[in-house]
Structure 1
Amino acid sequence: MNKLNSLAPPDVEQDEDLDFVAILDVLIENRRMICAIVSACFALAVLYAFLADPIFQSDIMVQVEESPDTSAAKSMLGDVSSLFDVKSTAAAESQILGSRLVVGRAVDQLNLFIQAEPRRFPVIGGWLARLDLAPFSTGFLGFTWGPETINVAKFDVPSMLEGVPFRVTVVAPHEYELSGSRLTQPIKIDVGRPQIVPTEYGDIYLEIRHIYGGIGSSFRLTRYSRDETVSEIQHALDIEEKIKDSGVLIASLQDNTALDVSRELNEIGRQYIRQNVERKSAEAAQSLAFLDERLPQIKAKLNAAQSRYTEMRNAHGVIDLTEEAKLDLGQATDAQARLLEMKQKREELRLRFGPSHPAILSLSAQINELESYQRTVEAKIKALPDSEQSAVRLLLDVQVNTDLYTSLLSSYQQLQLVKAGKTGNVRLVDVASMPDKPVKPKRLLVIAGGLAVGLAMGVIAAFLRDVLFRGVTDPNEIERRAQLGVYATIPYSTSQVDLIKQARNKKGQPSLLALNAPHEPAIESLRSLRTSIQFAMLGAKNNVVLVGGPTPGVGKSFVSANFAAVLAASGKRVLLIDMDLRKGYLHQYFDLERSFGVSDVIAGSQTLEHAIHREVASNLDFISTGVLPPAPAELLLSPAVETLIQTVSKSYDIVLIDSPPVLAVADACILAPAAGTVLLVAYSGTTKMGEITESVKRLRNAGSAVGGVVFNGMRTTGRYGYGSKYASYRYVDYKYSPKQGV
C-alpha cells in the first residue's frame, strides 16, 4: 500500500465508555423518527384516555368487634355468650370476607355470571353513549348508540355454552329475538316470559325481565362459569386493614359502571355479615344438642342423690354438723361444682375445636388443679366421725347435682337466646356508595406515560437503527477493516442542494459547487483529494481515473463533477466522461443536454469531436452519456470503448470517468481495467463495510485494484464538529480576507 494512503488522523483522547457526542449525534440524526414515534404514542395515549371505558371504584368498611353483645345481653347470658363470640383476628376475617363462601353467595344473589350489555360500535361506541351523542338511529349497522339497558332475570346454559356470546335484538315493543352461532335459527321471545331454548348441547333457560330500548336495539348476552366469575371477583377485591390492630377492614372493588360496583360490594358485605351470624348460631345449636343429651342425665343423678339423702334422714334423723364439717362441706361443694362445670365446658369446646386447642388445654390445667384441691378436701372429710362423713357425702351429692343442674339449665336457656340472635361480632360500618367519577383511566397520567413511553421507544429505535442499519461513520474503520486508504473526507454540503434547486428554476446557470462556492469545506476536501491523487497516479499505467461507488446514492456523481473542476482549476487539462449509461446525470451540473455523448460515439453514430463539450469550466471538457442504450453492459464491452479511452488519454492530462454503482450492475467492473486509478466513494452512515469489501472483491476479480476511498457526506453537528464518533474530524471555513490585507 502507498505510504500516503496509510496515513490516518492522529488519535484524539476520548472517553470510550461514555461518548456523549456520539449519543447526541444519533439522537439528532434520528430526530424525525423519534418525533414520529413520540407523536404516535401521544396520539394513542390521548385516544385511550378519552375513549377507554371508565373504571369506577367503591369501598365498604367492616369492623371486627371484640364482643358484639350489649351489656343487657351480657347480664342475661353471662359467660356462656362469650364462648360463642368469634374472636378472629382482622387478618383472618379479611380472608373470610374474600372467601368463595362469601363472594359466591354474592355472585348467586346478583347473577353476576350473566353479562348483558349493548352492542356498541368498536372504539368510539361507548364514548358516544357516555356523552349521550347518538349520531345514528338505534340499530344502525347492527349497533346501539344510546343509553339502552337490559335486565336478565335468568340465563342458564349447558357448560359447553358458557362464555359463548348470544345476541338479543328488540324486534317489537315487547318482543325480542335471540340469535347466536350455536342456535339453528333465531328465536322470538316475549319480554318477561321464561323460555326454554333447545340446542344440541342441552336446553337454555332464559328470562329477560325488562328491555329499555327501541326496535333494533341489540345486546350481547353471555353466561360465564360461576367458578370463573367468583375467582375474578376474588382477584379484583382488595381488602386491607389500613391501621394495624384496629379491627377495621376496608374492602374496595372496581367495575365498569358506578351502579354495579356499589351493588356488588354491598352484597358482598351483606353476605359476610350473614355468614358471621350463621356461624355463631350454628355453634350455639351444636352446644344445645349436647345439653339436650346431658340435662336428663344430670336430672336423674340429682333425683337419686335426693332419694339417698331422704332415706338417711328417715333412718337416723337430723344430724347436726359441727362447724368444721360445715366448712368442709362448703369447700367440697364449691370444688365439685366448679370441677363439673369446667369438665362440661371442655366437652362443649371439644365439639367445636380439636384437643390441642389453647382453650381446651387451659381448661384441662384448671381441672387438674381443682382435682388436686378436691382430694385435699376429701381427706379432711375422711377425718370426720363416721356419722358426719355419711351425712356430709350425701348432702354434698345433693348440693353439687342441684348446682350443676341449675347451671346447665340456665346455660341452655342462654344458648337458646344466642341461637335466636341476629347479630354477630362483625358489623358493616360504611356501605358502598355509587361513585361520581371514575378512577381510571387517569387521563393526565396516561398522556404523560404515553409521551414517556414514546420518547423511550424513539430513543431505543434510534440506537437500534444506528447499530443494525447504519453504515460506516468512521473513516479509520475503513482503513482498519478494508485495508484501504481514505484519500479524503468530504463534509455534507447544503450549498450544493441549494444550487441544484436554483438551477431547476433558472436555466443557463451551472449548479456545480466548485464554480459557485469554491471556498466550501467540501471543495477544500476535494483539493486535499487532488493532492493525494497526484501522488497515487505516479505509478499508475495511465492518466485515467475511474470514480465508482458500491451502491446508488453515495454521491459519486457529485464527487466526479466537482473533483474534475478542482483538478482543472490547478491548470491541468481535464476531461470528465459520464459513463453511467443507465442513470447518469452529470450534464445537469453544467446545464447541458444528454444527447450526443459516449453511447453515440461507441455506437459510431457520432464523432468524438462533436461529442465533447468544450470548456464547460476553465480547462475542463465534458462528454455526457448520450442516448441511454437498452443494453449498456453489452455496449461497454465494445472495443470502441478502449479505443475511446486511449484516444482521450493522449489529449488530456487527466481523464475522469464517472461509472455506475459496482454492486448494482457489471458496468463498473467492465470499465475499471481500462483505468489506471480507481476511486471508491462511500457515504457516511449509509455505505456498509460489507458493501465496500464486496466492491473491492468484484473489482479485483475484474482485474482492477481500488486505489483508495473517498468518504463522502460527513455531517457536522454544531459546536461538536464531527465528534469522536467521526474520528474527531472538524472542518472550518478557511479563506483569505482582503480586508485584513492577507
Structure 2
Amino acid sequence: MNTQFQRPYGTPLPLDDDEFILRDLVRMMREQLGWVVGITVAVGAVAALYAYSLPAIYSADALVQVQAKNPDTMPLARATQMMGAGTGTMVPTEAEIEIIRSRSVLEPVVNAFRLNISVTPVAVPLLGALTGRFATPGEPSEPWFGLPRYAWGGEQVDVESLTVPAGLEGEPLLLRALEDGRYALFGPGGAPLVEGKAGELLEQNGLSIRIASLVARPGTEFTVVRSNQLSAIGGLGKALMVGEQGKQTGIVQLSMESSNPVTAMSITNAVVQSYVRQNLERRQEETARTLDFLNTEVPRVRADLEKAEDKLASLQQRQGAVRPTTEAQSYLQGGLDLERQIAALRLRRTQLLQNFLPGNASIQNIDQQLGLLEEQKHSFERRFHDMPASEKAGLRMERDVKIAQEIYISLQNKSQELMINRAGMVGNVHVLDEAMLPSTPVKPKRGLIIVAGAILGFLISIMAVFARRAIFGRMRELEEIERRVALPMFGSIPFSPAQSRLEDYSRVVPHEIGELPPPVELAAGEAPGPSVRIDEWLPAATRPVLAENRPHDAAIEALCGICTQFQFAVEQMPHRVVAMVGATAGVGKSFVTSNLGTLLAKSDRRVLLIDADLRRQRLSGYFNRASGMGLSELLAGRIDVKEAVVPTGVPNLWLVPAGNYNATPAELLMSLRLRQAIESYERAYDLIIIDTPPVLDFNDALPVAGLAGAAVVVLRAGAHTEQQILEAVKKLQRAGANVAGGILNTVDEREARPHRRGIDEQLASAAGGAL
C-alpha cells in the first residue's frame, strides 16, 4: 500500500528553488496580460501627460572670483605689517557667499524684477498647462468646454507696480479681464477692490496698482499676489544657488533656475552686479573711513615729532655733542623695537575700534599683546637703570624722535597712496563668467519621468495581478494546484471544440431510435425486461459521448492517459467504487464521467455508471436516456437494483439514470438503500463510477463520497479559487471520503503541457492519493 500523500490537504509542497514562484508570476501575467498592459500604458500615459504639463526649467550660471584683500589698499594694515604685525591672506569665500545672500545684495534685484509681485493665470490643472505650451504669446486661445474664466494659453499680463495694505500682503487677489483692456481686482472672498484700465495708475484705500499691459479674453481670471518684501527676498535667496567651486579656490558659482531663460540669465547677472557693486561700495567706504582716520592722525603725529625734536635739540645744546656708548646704542635700539611694536598695535587697535566694540575678541587680543610689550619695555628699562641720567635722557629723546619720524613718514606716505588709489579703486571681487542665455532646459527630465512612470505602472500592474489573484484568483494549472493545495492530480483535459459542436448539433438534429441493446446480466442471473423500459430509450436532449464520436480528439487522448493512472489507482482501492465530485457546477464532471467510463469499458471491464446528481440529471443525456425511473425510484423503494440498470449502447457499459421521483435528493442519498445498492452492484461489475452533485453547492455528494472507495475531484481550469478547492476537499474529508486526487478539465490548449514529473512518479502519486 503506497502512502506517499499523507500530508494534509492545503499544506503547500516544499520548493527547491524559485522556479515555481517565477513560473506563477509569468503565468499570472500572461493570464492577465490585458490588465498588465492596460495599467502600464495608463500609468505611463499619465506620467507622459504630467511630464509635458510641467514647464521647462532653464538654468543660468555665472562665476565670480573672490580675492584676498590687497595690503596696498589697506594703509593701516600695511603700516602694521611694516611694523611687524602681519595680517592673514586667506580667501574669505564663505563670508562672501553669505554676503551674496544678504538682503543688501538681493533687495535691489527683487525691486528691479518685481519679484514681490506674482501673476498666475487661473487654468485647468494639467490640461491648461498643455494648451498653454502650444499657444502663441499675445494671442489668447479660445476657451474649451465652454469655460471662459480659465486661461487656455497666450494671455499676457504685466503688473508694473502693486502696493497693498499690510493685511493683504501674501493674500491671493483675483484679477478679471474686462472689455477694452479694462480689469477688475477682487480681494479674498470676492470683495471688489478697484476697477481700472491698463496703463493707468490707480490709488484707492491704501492700494496702488498699475498694469502696463493686459492681453486676455474678457472674463479670463488671474491670481495676483503681492508678497511681503522680506518674504520675496527670502524666496530669491532660496531660489539662488551659491557655492564655491573646489576648496579654497575663491571661485564662487551663482546659478538661477526659471521657466523663462531670459529671466534666469537676467536675474543671475543682476545678482552678480549687485554683489560687485556692494563689494566696491564697501571697499570705498572702508577707504574713506581710513583716510579720515589718517587725516586726523597725521597732524597729531607731526606735532609729537616736532616736540620730540625740540626737546632733543635743547638737550644737545645744554650737554654738547657726546658720542653714545655701546651700551647706550643697545638701549636705544631695543627701545626703538619695543616702541615700534607698541605703536603698530595701537594703530591696529584704533582701526578695529572703527568697526568693533572694545569687547571684541580681536581687540582684547591686541590689549593682551600691548600689556606684554609694556612689561617688556619696563623690564628693558630696568636693565639700564644704572646709566648716567644725562645719557639716559638723551637716548630716550633720540628714540622718541626716531619713532615719531617713522610713524609720521609712514602715515604721510600711506595717506598720499590712499588718495591716489581711491580714484581707481576696484573691489576684490571680479566677474569671470557672466550668465548667458541657456538654450536647453535642465528639467524636467521628461524621458526619465516617462520611463519611471512606465516602470511604476508595470510594478502597479504586478501588484494588481497579485491583488486580483488574492481576491478573484482562479487556478489553471496542475502544478499550481498540487503545490498550493497539495491535491494530487491525475492529469488535465484540454478544451474540446468538437464536443461543443456535437452538443450544438444534437440540439438541432434528434437522434433516431436504434435497436435496443441486450438486457443487463446481473449477478443473480436476472435481467430487466425490455418492455418495462422501452419508453425511456428516446431521442430526447442528448450530449453525444466524445469517446465514441471523436476517439482521436485531444481531450480523449488526454483521458486515455488519465485512464492509465486511474486503473492503477482502482487496483489499490479497497472498494471498486469511485465518486466523481465537482467543486462547483459547470466543471464538466458528467462529461469526464461518461467518457472515462466509455474508455474503461473498452478495456474489457464491466463498468456501471450511476447518475447520483438527482437535481440536474446530466449523465443520462450522454447516452440518449430520457427522464424516467432510475436511482431516485430505487432509493424510494419503487424498483429494485435490477430494474434501475439500463444499457448505454456501449459494450461493457451500463447506466443507472437519476430517475424522476419527486423527493428531497439529500434524504434519498442518505438512505440505507444506497449502501445496499452499491454493495449489490459491486458484486456484478468491475468498476462503479458515481456522478455526484457539486459539493460546494449542495450536500448531496457527501454521503455518496463517504460510501465510495475513492473520490475524484473534477475541477475546471480558471473556475476555482484556492479557497474553493480547499473547502471542497475539506468537506469531503469531513464526510469520511478518501480523496484520491483530481482531474483538471477544459484546460487552454496553449497551457495543456505534459506534467513535469515522470510517469512512474505520477502513478505512485495516484496510488498514494487513493489510500
Superposition TM-score, scaled by structure 2 size: 0.70
- The residue type equivalent to 2:22 in the other structure is I
CA distance in 2, matches of 1:253, 1:725: 70
- 2:611 alignment partner in structure 1: 577
Do the aligned residues in 2 keep the contact of 1:21 with 1:720 (CA within 8 Å)? no
- 1:322 alignment partner in structure 2: 323
Do the aligned residues in 2 keep the contact of 1:331 with 1:377 (CA within 8 Å)? no
Aligned residues: 699
How do residues 325-336 of structure 1 correspond to structure 2 at under 5 angstroms? 336=339
- The residue type equivalent to 1:709 in the other structure is G
Alpha-carbon spacing, 1:560–1:269, altered in 2? closer, same or farther (3 Å): farther
- 2:48 alignment partner in structure 1: 46
Report the secondary structure of 1:250's partner residue: strand
Do the aligned residues in 2 keep the contact of 1:513 with 1:523 (CA within 8 Å)? no
Q: 2:445 aligns with which of 442, 446, 469?
A: 442
CA distance in 1, matches of 2:42, 2:677: 60
- 2:665 alignment partner in structure 1: 636
Do the aligned residues in 2 keep the contact of 1:333 with 1:400 (CA within 8 Å)? yes
- The residue type equivalent to 2:609 in the other structure is L
CA distance in 1, matches of 2:760, 2:222: 67
Do the aligned residues in 2 keep the contact of 1:349 with 1:360 (CA within 8 Å)? no
CA distance in 2, matches of 1:519, 1:368: 112
- The residue type equivalent to 1:248 in the other structure is I
Alpha-carbon spacing, 1:276–1:672, altered in 2? closer, same or farther (3 Å): same
Q: 1:152 aligns with which of 145, 152, 159?
A: 159
CA distance in 2, matches of 1:392, 1:465: 107
Deviations 1:468-498 (A, max 9, x none): 867697779869987x7x3x432352xx254
CA distance in 2, matches of 1:693, 1:215: 69
Alpha-carbon spacing, 1:301–1:35, altered in 2? closer, same or farther (3 Å): same
- Can you give the 5+ residue segments of structure 2 that lack an aligned partner in the other structure? 8-12, 510-542, 764-771
Give the greater-gyration-radius structure (CA): 2
CA distance in 1, matches of 2:76, 2:415: 10
- The residue type equivalent to 1:680 in the other structure is V
Q: 2:351 aligns with which of 334, 348, 351?
A: 348
- Aligned-pair distance for 1:710? 0.5
Deviations 1:273-316 (A, max 9, x none): 34433444455566567667766764664565466557668xx4
- 1:272 alignment partner in structure 2: 275
The farther-off stretch of 355-364 and 440-449 is 355-364
- 1:119 alignment partner in structure 2: 122
- 2:531 alignment partner in structure 1: none
- Aligned-pair distance for 1:55? 1.8
- 1:522 alignment partner in structure 2: 558
How do residues 525-674 of structure 1 correspond to structure 2 at under 5 angstroms? 525-532=561-568, 534-535=570-571, 538-539=574-575, 543=577, 545-551=578-584, 556=589, 559-571=592-604, 572-575=606-609, 577=611, 579=613, 581=615, 615=648, 635-637=664-666, 639=668, 656-666=689-699, 668-669=701-702
- 1:491 alignment partner in structure 2: 492
CA distance in 1, matches of 2:116, 2:435: 21
Q: 2:132 aligns with which of 129, 133, 136?
A: 129
Do the aligned residues in 2 keep the contact of 1:120 with 1:144 (CA within 8 Å)? yes
CA distance in 2, matches of 1:500, 1:568: 20
Alpha-carbon spacing, 1:615–1:724, altered in 2? closer, same or farther (3 Å): closer
- 1:681 alignment partner in structure 2: 714
How do residues 189-268 of structure 1 correspond to structure 2 at under 5 angstroms? 189-193=196-200, 206-223=209-226, 233-268=236-271
Do the aligned residues in 2 keep the contact of 1:153 with 1:209 (CA within 8 Å)? yes
- 2:529 alignment partner in structure 1: none
- 2:737 alignment partner in structure 1: 705
Do the aligned residues in 2 keep the contact of 1:167 with 1:179 (CA within 8 Å)? yes
Report the secondary structure of 1:215's partner residue: coil
- 1:58 alignment partner in structure 2: 60
- The residue type equivalent to 2:742 in the other structure is V
Q: 1:178 aligns with which of 180, 185, 198?
A: 185
- The residue type equivalent to 2:57 in the other structure is I
Do the aligned residues in 2 keep the contact of 1:41 with 1:451 (CA within 8 Å)? yes
How do residues 274-313 of structure 1 correspond to structure 2 at under 5 angstroms? 274-281=277-284, 283-284=286-287, 298=301, 301-302=304-305, 304-305=307-308, 308=311
Do the aligned residues in 2 keep the contact of 1:81 with 1:415 (CA within 8 Å)? no
Do the aligned residues in 1 keep the contact of 2:66 with 2:428 (CA within 8 Å)? yes
Do the aligned residues in 1 keep the contact of 2:128 with 2:153 (CA within 8 Å)? no
- Aligned-pair distance for 1:522? 2.9
- The residue type equivalent to 1:64 in the other structure is V
Deviations 1:362-391 (A, max 9, x none): 9987996899699869978985782x6545
Report the secondary structure of 1:401's partner residue: helix
Report the secondary structure of 2:189's partner residue: coil
- Can you give the 5+ residue segments of structure 1 that lack an aligned partner in the other structure? 9-13, 731-742
- 1:734 alignment partner in structure 2: none
- Aligned-pair distance for 1:171? 0.4
- The residue type equivalent to 2:223 in the other structure is R
- Aligned-pair distance for 1:667? 5.1
CA distance in 2, matches of 1:537, 1:567: 16
Do the aligned residues in 2 keep the contact of 1:611 with 1:623 (CA within 8 Å)? yes
Alpha-carbon spacing, 1:227–1:75, altered in 2? closer, same or farther (3 Å): closer
- The residue type equivalent to 1:530 in the other structure is F
- The residue type equivalent to 1:548 in the other structure is V
- The residue type equivalent to 1:137 in the other structure is E
- Aligned-pair distance for 1:523? 1.2
Do the aligned residues in 2 keep the contact of 1:173 with 1:214 (CA within 8 Å)? no
- 2:517 alignment partner in structure 1: none
- Aligned-pair distance for 1:246? 3.3
The farther-off stretch of 373-382 and 150-159 is 373-382
The farther-off stretch of 338-347 and 91-100 is 91-100
How do residues 367-406 of structure 1 correspond to structure 2 at under 5 angstroms? 383=387, 386=390, 389-394=392-397, 396-401=399-404, 403-405=406-408
Superposition TM-score, scaled by structure 1 size: 0.72
- The residue type equivalent to 2:266 in the other structure is R
Alpha-carbon spacing, 1:688–1:242, altered in 2? closer, same or farther (3 Å): same
- Aligned-pair distance for 1:322? 3.3
Do the aligned residues in 2 keep the contact of 1:491 with 1:715 (CA within 8 Å)? no
How do residues 389-428 of structure 1 correspond to structure 2 at under 5 angstroms? 389-394=392-397, 396-401=399-404, 403-405=406-408, 407-408=410-411, 411=414, 423-428=426-431
Report the secondary structure of 1:517's partner residue: coil
Alpha-carbon spacing, 1:573–1:719, altered in 2? closer, same or farther (3 Å): closer
How do residues 356-371 of structure 1 correspond to structure 2 at under 5 angstroms? none
Query: RMSD of the TM alignment (CA)?
Result: 5.8
